[in-house]
Structure 1
Amino acid sequence: MNNFKVEKKGPFRIIGFKTVLTGGTSIHSPHFSSQKTTFFKSAIDNGQMAALRPLAEGPYGYAVVAKEGETVCYYPGVQSSQALPASAEEVWFPESEYLILSGSGGLSRLAFDKLEDQAFGTILTDTFEWEYSGTPVAEVLLNGNPVDAEVEVWVPVQKRNNR
């Protein structure tokens, strides 16, 4: 598994539309997958994603998974510093080190799920020098094709205290 690296990223902002995910309280749960797919499809079908596209400051599509207290929320959207459109919300990502996992082929949701399983189930264990920092996780669609996707997952990390 040589599909990951740790890299520093500057601060950035994602604007998108929010839904609450149910069935889990951690940032990553298998219960979230179908909920993310359903909400993302509805945001496309009702024109919300098309309304965000002109505000995008890059070619990538984004989705965010963020904890708000004990609630986990999901925001499909775009990276932008433009004014927030009606009914959209913003998620700020701090300057941080990020565990960046890359994958390609197949449906984007399956690729994102596989990379998040790898991050939280295989890599970010007690033996890895980095740990999840608790801030939002970004799912990034690099090629704009959710059927034959090229994706990355950006998990914010910090050095473990005992390293």
Structure 2
Amino acid sequence: MANFLVEEKEAFRFVGYKVQLGPPAQIHAEGYSPAKTEFFKGVLQSGKMAALKPISESPYGYAVVTADQAGAFYYAGVVSSKPTEEGKEEVLFPKGLYLVVSGKGGLSRLAFDKLEDQAFHEILSGDIQYRYTGGPVAEVLLNGNPMDAEVEIWVPVEEK
């Protein structure tokens, strides 16, 4: 399992659109995948993602997963420090340690699901000295090709 590392990342701000995946639950659940796919496709097809391009401050594609007392949520959008317009949501990622798990090949949604399974069910449940903090998880498409994806997930962690 050499496809992961823990690194410090600077704080950043994500801006985009959100959908509720389900009632309060774990941040990662197998049943979320179809809803994530449909939502992201809808944001792309409606032109909403293209409308965010002018405020994007990163060449990568981003999605975010969060969970709190109100539910589990999925976002599609960009990294930006510019003001949020009406109808868009923001997610703040604090400066700190992140478990970065990477992979490539195949459809981006399947790759993200595989990496999230690996992060939550293998790496963080194993003998690693870190644990998940409960913060937002970033899904990052590095090469812009969702059909033959190069991806990472960034999971906020702290030492046990």
Q: TM-score, normalised by structure 2?
A: 0.97
1:121 aligns with 2:150: no
Q: How far did 1:85 drift? A: 2.4
Alignment of 1:100 onto 2:100: yes
1:51-62 correspondence runs (5 A): 51-62=51-62
| Structure 2 equivalent of residue 4 of structure 1 | 4
What is residue 91 of structure 2 aligned with on the other side? 91
SS in 2 for 1:155: strand
Letter in 1 for 2:146: P
Which segments of 5 or more consecutive residues in structure 2 lack a partner in the other structure?
none
- Name which of structure 1's ranges 124-133 and 111-120 shifts more when overlaid on structure 2: 124-133
1:14 is matched with: 14
Q: 1:83 to 1:60 in 2, by over 3 A?
A: same
Matched with 1:151 is 151
Q: Which residue of 1 aligns with 2:33?
A: 33
Mark the runs of 5 or more structure 1 residues left unpaired by the alignment: none
80-89 or 140-149, which deviates more:
80-89
Kept in 1, the 8 Å contact 2:111–2:151? The answer is: yes
- Total equivalences in the alignment: 160
Partner Cα distance (1:70, 1:121) in 2: 24
Code of the aligned partner of 2:11? P
Give me the CA root mean square deviation: 1.1
Work out whether residues 102 and 153 of structure 1, in 8 Å CA contact, stay in contact via their aligned partners in 2. yes
Greater mean alpha carbon deviation, residues 41-50 or residues 20-29: 20-29
Query: Which runs of at least 4 in structure 1 moved beyond 4 Å after TM superposition?
Result: none
Contact kept? 2:23, 2:71, Cα under 8 Å: no
Q: Which residue pairs with 2:82 in the alignment?
A: 82
Q: Give deviations 1:45-93, integer Å, cap 9, x for gaps.
A: 1111011111100100100001132411111110000121231100000
Q: Contact 1:17–1:75 at 8 Å: present in 2 too?
A: yes
Shift of 1:126: 5.2
Q: Percent same amino acid at aligned positions?
A: 55
The separation in 2 between residues aligned to 1:37 and 1:146, in whole angstroms, is: 11
Residues 90 and 23 of structure 1, relative CA distance in 2, 3 Å threshold: closer
- Checking the alignment, whether the CA contact within 8 Å between 1:20 and 1:71 is kept in structure 2 is yes
Name 2:68's counterpart in structure 1: 68
Deviation for aligned residue 1:23: 6.7
